[in-house]
Structure 1
């Protein structure tokens, strides 16, 4: 029995320092319609999201259209890079990908963030076996989860992601069988 996880990296958002409440931009809101059209054809059984507003906004329409409850799972939130604002994001993100155990002050290492995301993913796979599940999430945590199951998904892959981006991961129990990009902006 195969389980399909549709990982949806949130649509474009308006940058604010408040990670939790950062909303989608006008382009992000437009992209939600396309995401919804695509996912509506996938016979979705469950809709799960990071608690961050931009992730919720990206997939809440598919929950509404399919009359599904939007389940919030905090472990699908984006990795915490640092407790303080980062001056050079490219340098900071490169450093954590170069050394999976390294973390900036108050932030999560790749290893710690991956462990959190994979735990949530395994729980979803076990609880909803054989179902089609949308997971609204973020680029870094999504790729860290994918990387756990297949090392081909790493930093270079992350750099090529769109915003939004949708990947369908097909599992047999907890073994990844197939990965397909569904849509990229």
Structure 2
């Protein structure tokens, strides 16, 4: 029996409040979270897992609650650690850094982590999820870069260009046979 992972990239989030862990969703992000719940309500989801960052769990919370499910948080599903203090970086800082990180997977900003490190920790966790929830349909609340790294581990077409074409939110259903990716389909049409 195959396992389905629904990669749900978080909705639009303010970069002016809190820190990377605590910033929530904008009004548009909240509206999109309701659309996600409506879109996925009949998929037969068994399990919900998420990054520990608020914006990721808030994006899938409506769907989980509507199905009477709890969200299991995995620390290692967090976004790339750009700095050691969870400081919010604006897009003028993040985008050039991400480009450099994808060009040189061992590069990191001072106090941050590299693409290599982030991919290793997130893939270890994704493989654990595939084993633990084998045969189930699992929604995974995630972030753009870490989602791209997890997807790219299984299929090289998911790269920097792919990342910059994704939206907030976004949804990709990945079908696995064990740890072998069989198919990926984009479900978000927003």
Q: Aligning the two structures, in what range does the TM-score lie when normalised by the shorter sequence?
A: over 0.9
Work out whether 1:118 is the aligned partner of 2:123. yes
User: What is the RMSD of the two structures over their aligned residues, measured on CA atoms?
Assistant: 1.3
Structure 1 Cα separation of the partners of residues 65 and 176 of structure 2 = 26
Structure 1 residue 184: deviation in Å? 4.1
* 2:153 corresponds to: 148
* 1:74 corresponds to: 75
Work out whether 1:164 is the aligned partner of 2:169. yes
Structure 1 Cα separation of the partners of residues 128 and 174 of structure 2 = 15
Structure 1 Cα separation of the partners of residues 171 and 120 of structure 2 = 22
Partner SS for 1:88: helix
Structure 2 Cα separation of the partners of residues 140 and 173 of structure 1 = 24
Structure 1 Cα separation of the partners of residues 132 and 120 of structure 2 = 18
Structure 1 Cα separation of the partners of residues 189 and 57 of structure 2 = 18
Partner SS for 2:122: helix
Distance 1:20 1:88, change over 3 A: closer
Deviations 1:61-120 (A, max 9, x none): 111111111111111111112336656322211100101111111111111000011011
Instruction: Give the TM-score taking structure 2 as reference length.
Output: 0.93
Contact 2:50 2:72 in 1 (8 A): yes
Structure 1 Cα separation of the partners of residues 12 and 79 of structure 2 = 14
Contact 1:163 1:184 in 2 (8 A): no
Contact 2:15 2:88 in 1 (8 A): no
Structure 1 residue 35: deviation in Å? 0.2
Count of aligned pairs: 185
Contact 1:9 1:136 in 2 (8 A): yes
* 1:13 corresponds to: 13
Match of 1:175 among 168, 177, 180: 180
Q: Which segments of 5 or more consecutive residues in structure 2 lack a partner in the other structure?
A: none
Contact 1:8 1:135 in 2 (8 A): yes
Structure 1 Cα separation of the partners of residues 36 and 176 of structure 2 = 22
Instruction: Give the TM-score taking structure 1 as reference length.
Output: 0.96
